[in-house]
Amino acid sequence: MVRRVLHVTDVAPPGLGGIETALATLIDAMPDVQVTLISPAHARGGDRKWGSNVTLRTIGAGNAVRRVVSAVVPPGKRKYVALASWLVDEWYRREVASAMEGDLVHLHSFAAFRYFANFRSRHPSRLSQSLVDWLRFFDGYGHPLLFTDHSLFGGSREQFDSIRNDLLLERLTNVVCVERSGKANVDALARERGLRVRAWWIPNPVDTERFRPAPLPSTDRLIVGYAGRYERLGTDRVLRLAAEAPDWVEFRLALAATEDQIRNAGAEAGRTRATLSWNLPNAQMPEFYGSVHLFLDPWSFGAPRTSLEALACGRVVIRLAGDGARSAELPVDVSPIVDASDPATFFQALSKLRERSILESLGRASRKLAEDTFSIREVAQAYRSVYSAVGGPAT
């Protein structure tokens, strides 16, 4: 008997984002599962080798709509073209999924819903309400459905409520949250509304066989690393710290960005005196983590994919305080929280980590945390159990 899973996603490997990497890591760890990956043509952006158990199904209808309509729509109105193309893609991928054999649909991203829910809030009408209701009619996929939130439901309850997650959860029945705060938010809403939704906490995975400890750099300077999207909130905090770095600190940043963003970032990057690498493929990230002494995590909640990879490489992850409360995804004795509101105070705290023995001790604890909690072995086994709960016995 073979488990058959239809993975549906807006973004797909070999893209550089967290969802793409988590999805690829999960699929690679499950050669015993027959996988169909359903994604838009523009999402993959390149070739990737998959196992013989993986079939790719490309959705191109939305792209066709975008090309044709964009040619006749004024530039100021083209954001509505994207909305129309999302609707076409969503309709088509439901048609594709419902016509295929499978035990369940595993939905990984649903960007269209967030935009249409926001549109409904700003422009309430029968039409906008009908679009939202159609988008959350998950029976249209024709199979039991599992939704992984990829941090969508995480963070504070105020943040959770502000982006109208309740509209999704009124229709979802099976949810995996990658942050503990996400599961807490879902469980609380279910109690308050009487919703019949099952929620599991399964963290983002890291391939601990590929991301392995490396010796610390042999240099008197403390090399501080960070990896993330250039435009994301939090990257700006790291750049500000890099601009104030004392001579005994060196920043190395691996940033994902568009060509326009890279050009615009030139002046700002020059002020930081940091070493910047742009759009490093995930295959090169183990070498990047090995080139730094410690890694910064500026996010206000959760455990980002890059932080988990750094942990697996035996690097202590320093979480930045001073811009919102931090969650308990990572224990503070392994991943310290340092106040970053004042650069002088921040670097004074960092100076205590210049001792090599301290970095090595924290690095060993970091590696153990990655293996025990976030290893793809543990995550894949957890998903196998959830697949059985949602899709029933393998056929």
All domains in the chain, ordered by first residue: 3-205+375-391 (3.40.50.2000), 222-374 (3.40.50.2000)
Look at residue 80 in the predicted model and tell me its pLDDT. 66
Look at the block and give the residue holding tokens 């599961």.
Answer: 183
The answer to pTM > 0.85 is: yes
Consecutive H or E run containing 288: helix 285-290
Cβ proximity of 106 and 148 under 8 Å: yes
pLDDT digits (tens), the chain, 395 positions: 789 999 999 888 877 788 999 999 999 999 999 999 998 876 555 578 899 999 999 887 656 666 655 655 666 666 666 777 888 889 999 999 999 999 999 999 788 888 888 888 888 999 999 999 999 999 999 999 999 999 999 989 999 999 889 999 999 999 999 999 999 999 999 999 999 999 999 999 999 999 999 999 998 899 999 999 888 888 999 999 999 999 999 999 999 888 888 887 766 666 677 899 999 988 999 999 999 999 999 987 778 899 999 999 999 999 998 655 455 678 888 999 999 989 999 999 999 999 999 999 999 999 999 999 999 999 999 999 999 999 998 87
Look at residue 68 in the predicted model and tell me its pLDDT. 57
Look at residue 12 in the predicted model and tell me its pLDDT. 82
d(CA 227, CA 212): 17
Look at residue 8 in the predicted model and tell me its pLDDT. 95
Look at the block and give the residue holding tokens 């390149």.
Answer: 46
d(CA 309, CA 206): 6
- The CB-based long-range contact list for 92-96 (8 Å cut-off, 24+ gap) reads 92/59, 92/61, 92/62, 93/8, 93/38, 93/59, 94/140, 94/141, 94/142, 96/38, 96/57, 96/59
Look at residue 16 in the predicted model and tell me its pLDDT. 72
